[in-house]
């Protein structure tokens, strides 16, 4: 199960890298990222949730991380995505920052990338 958690960890980092690079590219090109961006967001959320679920199973079976920050970094992306959804909802309602919802998720993806990379690094015993 630990090997699966490690493999999914690399996938989570790759998925969030895709999201913020895609968003940055769209911003530089001064156009939206397209409809497939929302498909990516759904996939990113599923991958992050599966990774968290595998992590919880590992915790329940007695496999504890060597650094408690691994848990903060690991569950952080889920919290960031929830915040992103709340912010995007406010934008849709005409409140909040005057930006497109995809910009919110591109920024959230950047934060999630950093958190998941740190989770992976602490899990691998790096830094």
Give the DSSP letter string of 74-98: HHHHHHHHHHHHHHHHHHHTT-S-S
Domain that holds residue 85: 2-124
| Integer Cα distance of 21 and 83 in angstroms | 20
pLDDT of residue 34: 96
**Residue 94: pLDDT band by 50, 70, 90 thresholds?**
confident
For residues 43-65, average pLDDT: 96
- φ/ψ (deg, to 5) at 68: -65, -25
CB-based contacts of 6: which residues, under 8 Å, 6+ apart? 120, 123, 124
Structurally, the chain folds into a number of domains equal to 1
- φ/ψ (deg, to 5) at 64: -100, 140
Is the predicted pLDDT of residue 97 greater than 80, yes or no? no
Query: Residue 99 carries which DSSP code?
Result: S
For residues 21-28, average pLDDT: 97
């Amino acid at each position: 199960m630990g090997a699966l958690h490690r493999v999914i960890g690399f996938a989570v980092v790759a998925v969030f890298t895709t999201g913020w690079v895609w968003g940055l590219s769209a911003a530089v090109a001064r156009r939206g990222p397209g409809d497939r961006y929302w498909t990516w967001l759904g996939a990113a959320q599923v991958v992050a949730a599966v990774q968290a679920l595998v992590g919880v199973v590992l915790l329940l079976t007695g496999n504890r991380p060597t650094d408690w920050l691994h848990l903060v970094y690991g569950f952080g992306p889920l919290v960031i995505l929830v915040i992103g959804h709340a912010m995007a909802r406010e934008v849709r309602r005409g409140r909040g920052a005057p930006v497109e919802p995809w910009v919110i998720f591109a920024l959230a993806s950047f934060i999630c990338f950093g958190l998941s990379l740190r989770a992976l690094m602490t899990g691998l015993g790096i830094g």
